[in-house]
Amino acid sequence: MRRHWQKKPLLVRQALPGVQPPVSRRQLAELAASEDVESRLISRFDGRWALRQGPVAKLLPYSKAGWTVLVQGLDLHLPEARELLDRFRFVPEARLDDLMISYATDGGGVGPHFDSYDVFLIQVQGKRLWRIGRQGMATSGALVEGAPVKLLADFEPEQEFELDAGDMLYLPPGWAHDGIAVGECMTCSVGFRTPWRAELARELLQRLMDDDSRAYQNRMYSDPKQPATSAPGEVPQQLLDFARDATERALKEPLALERALGEALTEPKPRVWFETGDVLPAGMGVALDRRSRMMYDRAHVFLNGESYRAAGRDARLMRVLADQRALSAKEIAALSKGARELLDQWCEDGWVQPVAGTR
Ligand code: SIN
Ligand code: CO
C-alpha cells in the first residue's frame, strides 16, 4: 500500500499459488445468459471490434479465437468469488467494488484502454499477456473511432508481462493496459469505487434532503415584513438567506452527513436481492450474506443501506461483524436484547446467515 497503491503498478508472481478459477466456463456461460447478471461479449474478428451487452443467450464457439465474455459482480453470485474478493479487504470495504471475471479464447481481450479506478488483475487460468503504459487520463484523449468499446488510438506500451495462473498485476487509475489471451484463459479483476466529488455530493445532498424527519426541514418560509415592490422580478435577499440557511442546516445537523455517507456506501447494487430466512437458532454463529455490505463509524453501524446507532459492547461486537463478516455464538450471547433482536431481523431478511461454530 505504501509503495504502490494509487502510485505505480506492481507485478506479483504467484500472489495466489494454486488459485482455482471461481467458475467453470460452463457456469460462466450460464451466468452470462442470466437477466440478473451484468455481462458483455467482446470480439475482434478480422480487425473489427464488436460489443454485445448481456444477457448473452449463447456464447461463441470455444474453438473460435479472438473473443471474450466478461461478467461483473461475480462476488454477488458465487461464494467462491466472494472469498477471492475478501482477500483484498486490506483495502477498506468502502473502496472495494466487485470481482469481475473474463473468459477469453486465444487472442481475446477488450483492447487497449484505461480505467479511472485501481484494479488488481489476477490470472486464474491459462496465460495472458499484459502490455501497460503510463499514458492515461491526463495525457491521452484519442480513442479509436467507430469502435463499440473505448480503445486508445495511440497506445504506447512501456512494459509487458505474461501472467500465469496465480500471478497478479496491480494498476493504479489511469494506467493504459491491454490484456491479450495466450490460448484460452480466465482473468479476475478486483475493482474499486472511486467516487467523483460532484457525484458523491449529489448523492449525499439528495439523501440529506429526502430525510424529512429532521427538525431543520420543518420550517416554512415567511416574510411578514415584505413591503409592496416595484421590482417584482428581483429575488428577495431574505429568500436567498433562507435558502443558504436551509442548506447549511442540513449539512450541520449532527451525524446527518455521517448517516447519509454510511447508508450510501452500504446500499446494495440495483440487481441485488436477498433470500429471506428464519430467526437465528440458539447456539449458532452468523456470517454476513455474500451480498451484504456492512460498515461502521464512531456512532453507527450500517448494513445494506440502513443505519443504526450503536454504543458500548453492542457497537464493539457489531464492528467485529463488519470487519470479520462473522460473529461466533459466544459473541452473539454477549449482545444486548435489542441488538440480538436486530440480528434476528437481519437473519429473517437474509442479510446474515446462521453458521455452526464460527471462529
Ligand atoms: C479483461 O479481463 O480482459 C479486462 C480487465 C481490464 O482490463 O480491466
Ligand atoms: Co481495464
pLDDT tens for residues 29-69? 999 999 999 999 999 999 899 999 989 999 999 999 999 99
Q: Is the whole model's pTM more than 0.75, yes or no?
A: yes
Q: What angle do CA 328, 334, 339 make, to 5 degrees?
A: 95
User: How would residue 152 be classed by pLDDT, with cut points 50, 70 and 90?
Assistant: confident
Q: 158-167: per-residue pLDDT in tens?
A: 999 999 999 9
What pLDDT score does 217 carry? 62
Region 256-260 average pLDDT: 95
Substitution site in 72, 100, 168 for ligand 1 pocket (most atoms within 8 Å of beta carbon)? 100
Q: Is the CB of residue 72 below 6 angstroms from any atom belonging to ligand 1?
A: no
Q: Which residue has the cell 431481523?
A: 345
Distance from the alpha carbon of residue 113 to the mean position of ligand 2, in angstroms: 6
Which ligand approaches the C-alpha of residue 173 most closely?
2
Neighbours of ion ligand 2 (CB under 5 A): 115
Query: Does residue 307's CB lie within 6 angstroms of at least one atom of ligand 1?
Result: no
- pLDDT for res 250: 86
- Contact between 294 and 301 under an 8 Å Cβ cutoff? The reply is yes
Query: What are residue 152's phi and psi, to 5 degrees?
Result: -70, 130
The separation between the first and the last C-alpha atoms of the chain, rounded to the nearest angstrom, is 28
207 lines ligand 1 (CB under 6 A): no
Does the C-beta of 189 come closer than 6 Å to ligand 1?
yes
% of the chain beyond a pLDDT of 90: 82
State yes or no: pLDDT of 120 exceeds 80. yes
In terms of Cβ atoms closer than 10 Å to its own Cβ (0-12, 13-18, 19+), residue 200 is middle
112 lines ligand 1 (CB under 6 A): no
By DSSP bridging, strand 39-45 and strand 119-133 are unpaired
CA distances from 261 to 196, 198, 314 (A): 14, 14, 21
Mean pLDDT value across residues 285-307: 97
Which residue reads 512494459 in cell numbers?
Answer: 159
pLDDT at 139 over 70: no
Q: Residue 357 pLDDT more than 70?
A: no
The pLDDT assigned to 212 comes to 63
Nearest CA to ligand 1 atom 5: 189
